[in-house]
Each structure stands twice: as structure tokens, then as C-alpha cells.
Amino acid sequence: IPDAYPSIQIQEFKDSILENRKFFKCFIKDDYGFTKMNFNYSFINKETAENLKEKIISLPIPVNKNTNLQELYYFFDMAEIQMQAGDEIEYYFEIWDNDGINGSKSTRSQKMIFKAPTIEELQEKSENANKQIKTDITQIMLDARKLQQDIENFEKKLTEKRQISWQEQQEMQNLIDAQKQLQLQFEQLQLQNKQNNLLQQQFNPVDEEILRKQQELEKLFDDILTPEMKEIIKQMQDMLEKANKDKMQEMLQNMKLTNEDINKELDRSLELFKQLEFEKKMQETIDKLDKLAEKQKKLAEETEKENKTSEELKKEQDNLNNEFEKLQNDIKDLEEKNKELENPNKLENTIDEQQKIKNEMLNSSGSLSKGKNKQASQSQKNAASKMEELSEKFQNMQAAMEEEQLGEDVRSLRSILENLVRVSFQQEDLMQRFSTIKLNNPDYVKLGQEQKNLKTSLQMIEDSLFA
């Protein structure tokens, strides 16, 4: 009986968050058994325009050689092959039977293609996700403030009641439900922020310092809702069932303080998120300038050597001109992001530098149209040089911002520490004077006023530390 070819059927599934992860369900069948099975892929690197389709990389898949019908699962993580933005791979499965007479025969699955998003597409996705996160943070803060007001109104109502009626219990339940909803909104925000960070890291390596700050901000999000805050909701539900007015008022006060903390932390997180967004955009702009300068240099060499026709060179130059126009839009976006901050960074105006680069690039295109390759090459070299200068200017601004911020933080912390120690000594002195004075002493009221002043000083220290 002749040995038939093996059969293979593939079902492909993708990760709900990370596009570079693929899951496969494989059905393999043969009338006598199998020898081996491979997952094969060929790689095209768009960045270098190097076609590697002829080079097929094979990854072995364990298979039971003696079972004629099998169901297998396979996971492929493209991060392991260092796939970059804009890259494309073609992949398929191949199974061999165990035909010992005619030689092992193979069957291939259908070929599948995956194209990684370009850097521009990734940045657009990230921008949209960032906008949504900022909108959600603002909405949660508004909801928390409204709940705060509802709690205060209900507190006033409770003080006028001797006993809690069914109506007050229902109102209290509504407040608890609103607090639970606020908690749910925040947990969704945490997940959304983590997914956004993972999305940004998929096909485009993130600067180490930016990555560290992303992780710190993620930790800040995780720490806002403490276990104690979650426990308050549970305790309130228990108090509601017992209808204890005094305990309920105490729980309301706790809930109010909880929402105050959440609002303050969200306000801080929103500002830090905007600052990180600005820093990331700054780094992306610098990277794009460096890459574009390199492309312009390479084209200048090709123009000088006249390896291509003037039409081909002009087409390439026009493409670079378009890239620079997009880069100018990125710089405008960077300036807008800086304006959104409560304390904007010192971002210098670069319009003159941008215009000089644009003029050199346009001169190059014009010279190529007239067949003046030597003039075009010189303009291209000038444009590349000016791009490098602009990149260096942005890098200097970046370093100056970080140094200035660090200096401000050190000075602020030193001032806070000095004030805290001073208030601590004043409080200790006041305690000692209180311990030796009688209630009917006229100075007792004066000491009470000093205590209020110390409380005000502590509030100012807290505000400074928060800032």
C-alpha cells in the first residue's frame, strides 16, 4: 500500500495586547507516522532594505513519531528574533512522514505573513493611547470630587438625624457603590497604562532612562489604591448592615480622606505622565533627526559619485524633504506638549534652524532638476550638517532640563527638611510650656494660637513636599 503525503492544518491566534506574539493550533495526520516537524520563517528587514527571503530559518517542533493523528500547540514570540518596526516575515509549518521505501515526504502549511507596524504607526497608536489615559485620569478626578461633595452633603444630613432610616441606608449604599465604581475605573486605568507601555516597547527599543521612568510611574499608579483604602469599603458595607450612626460617620470621614488622597495622587500622576510624554517625544525627535541626517549624508555621497540618474536622486531627495516636514510637525507637537505642563521646560525656539535645513533641501531638489549634481551634493551635505547641529541643540536642552530639575529638587528638599526640623523643635517647646501652664492662665489662649500657627506651617510643608 503506497504511503500517502502527510496532511497539516493550522489555526492562528494573536495576543490581545502584543502583536508580536503568535499562537498556533496544529492538526497533523499521516497513514503511517511522522519523522519531524519544523516552523520555518524568512525575514525581510525594511530598515536596511535587505531581502533575506532566501535564508529560511527552521525551528524544530517536538512530535510523537508513532501517533498517526495529533493536535499540537506552538507559540512564537517575534521579540526573540529582534523584529523591528516596519520589518516583515513570512512563515509556515512543514511536516515529514516516515516513508522508509520512497524516502520521507513533506507537506507545508499555507504561508502566512506578518508586517510589523512602522515607527510612525507605533507612535500614532501611543499618542492615541496617551490621550485616552489623560482623559480617563481627568474623568476619575472629576468623579472623585463629585463623590466628595456627595459625602459632605450626606454627612450634614446625618448630623440632623437621631436614627438612620431606610432612606439614609439607601443613600449610604449609593455612596459605597460610587466608591466601588471609582475603584473599578482606576483599576482599568492601571491596566490601560501597562498595556500602553508594553505596546511602545514591542518593535521599537525605548531609551533606558524613559523606560525606568515608565516603570516608576507604573509603580506610582499601583500604589495609589492601597489595601487600607480597599478595606474601608468593606468596613463601610459592614457598618451599613448594623445601621450604627456614629460608626457610619467615622467611615464617611475615612472615605472622604481616601478620596482626597486619590485626587492628590491622580493630580500628581497626571502631571508626571505629561512630563514623561514630553521627554519621550524629545528623545524620538532627536533620534529622527540623527537618522535623517545619516540618510541625507548617504544621498549626498551618491549624488557626488553620480551612481544614479538625476531623476532617481531627485525622487529620493523629495522623499527626505517629506520626512523633514513630518519632523517639523513633531517639533510643533513637542512644543504643545511642553505648554500643557504646569511648569513648562525651557524649550528654545528652533524655527530659524529648521528653515535653514528646509532651504538647503529644497535647493538640492532644484539643482537635481537642472542636472547640477555637484551643487545638489553640497546642499545635501549642508542640510545633513545643520540637522546634526539641531540634534545636538536638542540634546543640550535635554541635559540642561534634567540638570536644572535635579538642582531644583535638591534645593526644595533641603528647604523642606530645614522647615520640618524647625517646626519639630517649636512643637516640642510648645509641649513643654503646655505641661506647666494652668487652664485659667491668660497665656493658655496664646499657646493655643501658637499651636494653630504650627498646624498651618505643617500644611505648608506638606504642600511643598507634594509639589
C-beta neighbour count of 449 within 10 angstroms: 9
Instruction: Give the predicted TM-score (pTM) of the model.
Output: 0.79
The pLDDT, as a whole number, for residue 357 is 95
Q: What are the pLDDT digits (tens) for 319-373?
A: 999 999 999 999 999 999 999 998 899 899 999 999 999 999 999 999 999 888 9
Nearest by Cα to 20 from 179, 204, 219: 204
Q: What are the pLDDT digits (tens) for 210-237?
A: 888 888 888 888 888 777 777 777 777 7
Q: Classify burial at 18, counting beta carbons within 10 Å of its beta carbon; exposed 0-12, middle 13-18, buried 19 or more.
A: middle
Estimate the share of the chain in helix, then strand, then coil, as percent rounded to the nearest 5: 65, 15, 20
The pLDDT, as a whole number, for residue 102 is 82
Q: Is 103 helix (H, G, I), strand (E, B) or coil?
A: coil
Identify residue 406 by its one-letter amino acid code: L
Radius of gyration of the chain (CA): 33
Q: What are the pLDDT digits (tens) for 425-444?
A: 999 999 999 888 888 888 88
CA distance 146 to 356: 52
Q: Is 34:41 a contact under the CB 8 Å cutoff?
A: no
Q: Is 72:63 a contact under the CB 8 Å cutoff?
A: yes
CA distance 352 to 139: 40
> pLDDT exceeding 90 applies to what percent of the chain?
47
Residues 6+ apart with CB under 8 A from 320: 292, 295, 296, 299, 361
CA distance 243 to 179: 19
The pLDDT, as a whole number, for residue 243 is 59
Q: What are the pLDDT digits (tens) for 11-59?
A: 999 887 788 899 999 999 998 889 999 999 988 765 543 555 458 899 9
Identify residue 393 by its one-letter amino acid code: K
Q: Is 22:41 a contact under the CB 8 Å cutoff?
A: no
Q: Which residue has the cell 528654545?
A: 348
Query: For the chain, what is the largest distance between any 2 Cα atoms, rounded to a whole number of angstroms?
Result: 116
The pLDDT, as a whole number, for residue 48 is 42
Q: Is 186:138 a contact under the CB 8 Å cutoff?
A: no
The pLDDT, as a whole number, for residue 45 is 62
Strands 88-97 and 69-77, bridge-based pairing: unpaired
Q: What is the mean pLDDT of residues 311-322?
A: 93
The pLDDT, as a whole number, for residue 49 is 38
**Chain-centre distance of CA 131, in angstroms?**
11
Q: What are the pLDDT digits (tens) for 282-291?
A: 999 999 999 9
Q: What is the 3-state secondary structure (H, E, C) of 213-282?
A: HHHHHHHHHHHHCCHHHHHHHHHHHHHHHHCCHHHHHHHHHHHHHHHHHHHHHHHHHHHHHHHHHHHHHH
CA distance 124 to 200: 10
Q: What are the pLDDT digits (tens) for 141-182?
A: 999 889 889 888 888 887 777 777 778 778 888 888 888 888
C-alpha cell at 48: 536596511
Angle at 332 between CA 317 and CA 313, to 5 degrees: 0
Q: Considering the chain, what is the average pLDDT of its residues?
A: 88
Angle between helix 373-435 and helix 310-339 axes, rounded to 10 deg: 20
Q: Which residue has the cell 541635559?
A: 399
Q: What is the mean pLDDT of residues 412-437?
A: 93
